[in-house]
Structure 1
Amino acid sequence: MTALIAGIVPVFILIAIGYGLRKSDFLPDATWRPIEKLSINLLYPGFLIPAIWDADLSGGSAGAAGGSAVTAVLIVGALTLLAKPLLKIDGPAFTSVFQGTIRWNSFVFLPVIQSAYGAEGLALAAVMIACIIPVTNIACVAVLARWGADQRGVSPLALTRAMLANPILVACLTGLALNFLHVPPIPGISDTLKLLGGAALPLGLIVAGAGLSFAEVARRKWTVAGVTVVKLMVMPPLMWGLCVLYGGNELAQATALLCGAAPGAAAAYLLARQMGGDAPLMAGIVALTTVGSALGIPVALALFHLA
C-alpha cells in the first residue's frame, strides 16, 4: 500500500514543477500553448494507441469500468441540471459548474493508474476514456449552447465533427479497432508510438501544472468549493459503487474509483472560453480540484485497499 501511494507522489510533483515554471516565467507564456498542442495531438495518441492495442480486453471488466464511468457522469450531470434553480449564479457560471462536476483530467488520471496498476490498469483506463469523452462533450456543449453567454445552437453534425477532431478520442478508438481486429505489432510504427508515448505523461503533467490558475478561487470560494466537493467526494464512490454493481473485478473497481477522483479538465477552460462560459470560474475549479486530488487520490486508494 505504501508503495502504491508513493508511486503517485511523482505525479503531483511534476504538476507542481509545471506550476512553478509558469509562475517563475522560466518559459514565456506564449510557449506553453504549443507545448500543450504537441502533448494532446501527438504524444498522448502515441501513448494511448499501443496501450489499448496491446491490452487484454477479453474479460467483462472493461465493460463494467466503462459503463460505471458513463452512468456516473449521466447521474451527476442530471442532478446538477436539477439543482440549477437553487444555485444563485448566472448562466455562464452554471456552465462552468456543470463542466466542473462531470469532466476530468486524463493528463492526471492516466499516470496515476500507470503508477498504481501498470499496463493492465492503463488498458481499462483507456477504455473508460473512450466511453466518457463522447458523453461529456455532448452534454457540456449542449449546456454551453443553452446557458453560455453566446447561446449559439450547435448542430449534431458540428458536434460530431468536433468529437472526431478530438485526438484523444480518435486515439482510443484507433487502439480499440486495432485490438478487436487482432492486428499484430507493426515494426517501426509500434516502436515509434511507444517512443512518443514515453514523453506523453511527464510532459502532460508539467503542462497541466503550468495551466493552473488560483486567482478566482478566493473570490468565488463557495462555488468553487461546492463543485470540488461533488467532483472529489461524490463522484469517486459513485463510480466505484456502479462498477461493483456492474460486476467489475477488483482492478476495474480501483480504476473506476480513481477515475472519479481525477481533477477537473483543463480542456473545460478552453471550451468555456470558446462558447461563452465563465472561463475564470472554470480555471478556479480546475485549480482547486487538482490540489484536492493530490490529497484525495491517496486517501481513496488507501481506503479501497483497506476495505
Structure 2
Amino acid sequence: MGGLFAGVLPVFALIAIGYGLRKSDFLPDATWRPIEKLSINLLYPGFLVPSIWGADLSGGSAGAAAASAVVAVIIVGTCALLAKPLIRLEGPAYTSVFQGVIRWNSFVFLPVIQAVFGAEGLALAAVMIACIIPVTNIACVAVLARWGADQRGVSPLALTKAMLANPILVACLTGLVLNFLRVPPIPGVSETLELLGGAALPLGLIVAGAGLSFAEVARRKWTVAAVTFVKLGVMPPLMWGLCILFGGDQLAQGTALLCGAAPGAAAAYLLARQMGGDAPLMAGIVALTTVGSALSIPILLTLFHLV
C-alpha cells in the first residue's frame, strides 16, 4: 500500500512544481501555451498510441470500464440539467458548473493510473478516454450553446469536426484500430512513439500545475466547493459501482474509480472562454478539484484495497 502512495505522490509533486514555476515567473507567461500545445498535439499521442496498440483488450474489462465512465457521465450530467432551475446562477456560470461535474483531466488521470496499475491499467484508461471524449464534448458544447453568454448554435457537422480534430481522441482511435487489426510493432515507428511518450506524462503534469488559478476559489467558494464535492465525492464511487454492476474485474474497477476521481479539465476553461462560459469560475473549479484530488485519491485507494 505504501508503494502505491509513493507512486501517486510524484504526480502531485510535479503539478506543484508547475504551479511554482508559473508563479515565480521562471518562464514568461507566453511560453506556457506553446508547451501545452506540444504536450497535447505530439507527446500525449506518442504516449497513447503504443499503450493501446500493444494492449490485451480481449477480455471484458475494457468494456465494463468504458461503460461505467460513459453511464456515470450521463447520470451526473442529467442530474445537473434537472437541477438547473434550483441552481441560482446565471447561464454562463451554470455552464461552468456543468463542465466541472462531468469533465476530467487526463493529464492527471493517466500518470496516476500508470503509478497504481501499470501498463494494463493504462490500456483500459485509454479506451475509457476514447469512449468518454465524444460524450462530454457533445454535452458541454450543447450546454454552452444554450446557456453561454454567446448562445450561438453549433451544427452537428462542426461539432464532429471539432471532436475529430482532438489529438487525444485521434490517438486513442488510432491505437484501437492498430490493436484490432493486430498490426505488429513497426521498427523505428514504435521506438519513436515510446520516446515521445516518455516525455508526455511529466511535462503534462507540469503544464497542468502551471495552468492552475485560485483567484475565484475564495470569491465563489460555495459554488466551487459544491462542484468539487460532486466531482470528487460522488463521481468516483458512482463509476466504481457501475463497473461492478457491469461485471468489471478488479483492474477495471480500480481504473473506473480513479477515472471518476480525476480533477477538472483545463480544456474546460478553454471551451468556456471560447463559447461564452464563465471562464474565471471554471479556472477556480479546475484548481480546487486538482488540489482536492491530491487528498481524495489516496483515501479512495485505501478504501478500494480494503473492500
Provide the residue aligned with 1:207 in structure 2.
207
Provide the residue aligned with 2:260 in structure 1.
260
Q: How does 1:138-149 map to 2 (within 5 A)?
A: 138-149=138-149
Provide the residue aligned with 2:36 in structure 1.
36
Report the Cα offset of residue 156 of structure 1.
0.3
For these two proteins, the number of residue pairs brought into alignment is 307
Q: How does 1:195-274 map to 2 (within 5 A)?
A: 195-274=195-274
User: In the alignment, is residue 175 of structure 1 matched against residue 175 of structure 2?
Assistant: yes
Report the Cα offset of residue 6 of structure 1.
1.1
State the distance in 2 between where 1:26 and 1:248 align. 45
Report the Cα offset of residue 96 of structure 1.
0.2
Report the Cα offset of residue 184 of structure 1.
0.2
State the distance in 2 between where 1:194 and 1:298 align. 29
Q: Which amino acid aligns with 1:281?
A: L
Report the Cα offset of residue 40 of structure 1.
0.1
Report the Cα offset of residue 2 of structure 1.
1.0
Q: How does 1:54-203 map to 2 (within 5 A)?
A: 54-203=54-203
State the distance in 1 between where 2:257 and 2:264 align. 15
State the distance in 1 between where 2:247 and 2:203 align. 35
State the distance in 1 between where 2:187 and 2:228 align. 45
State the distance in 2 between where 1:37 and 1:298 align. 30
Provide the residue aligned with 2:18 in structure 1.
18
State the distance in 2 between where 1:81 and 1:196 align. 40
* RMSD over aligned Cα atoms: 0.3
Q: Which amino acid aligns with 1:71?
A: V
Q: Which amino acid aligns with 1:158?
A: A
Q: Which amino acid aligns with 2:62?
A: A
Report the Cα offset of residue 123 of structure 1.
0.3
Report the Cα offset of residue 276 of structure 1.
0.2
State the distance in 2 between where 1:29 and 1:227 align. 28
State the distance in 2 between where 1:263 and 1:153 align. 28
Q: Secondary structure at the match of 1:260?
A: helix
Question: Which runs of structure 1 show a deviation greater than 4 angstroms over 4 or more consecutive aligned residues?
Answer: none
Q: Secondary structure at the match of 1:248?
A: coil
Identity of aligned residues (%): 86
Report the Cα offset of residue 45 of structure 1.
0.1
Report the Cα offset of residue 210 of structure 1.
0.0
For residues 76-103 of structure 1, give each alpha carbon's deviation from its aligned partner in whole angstroms, at most 9, with x where no partner exists. Answer: 0000001111111000000000000000
Report the Cα offset of residue 244 of structure 1.
0.1
Structure 2 unaligned runs (5+)? none
Provide the residue aligned with 1:278 in structure 2.
278
State the distance in 2 between where 1:47 and 1:266 align. 19
TM-score under structure 2 length normalisation:
1.00
Report the Cα offset of residue 228 of structure 1.
0.1
Structure 1 unaligned runs (5+)? none
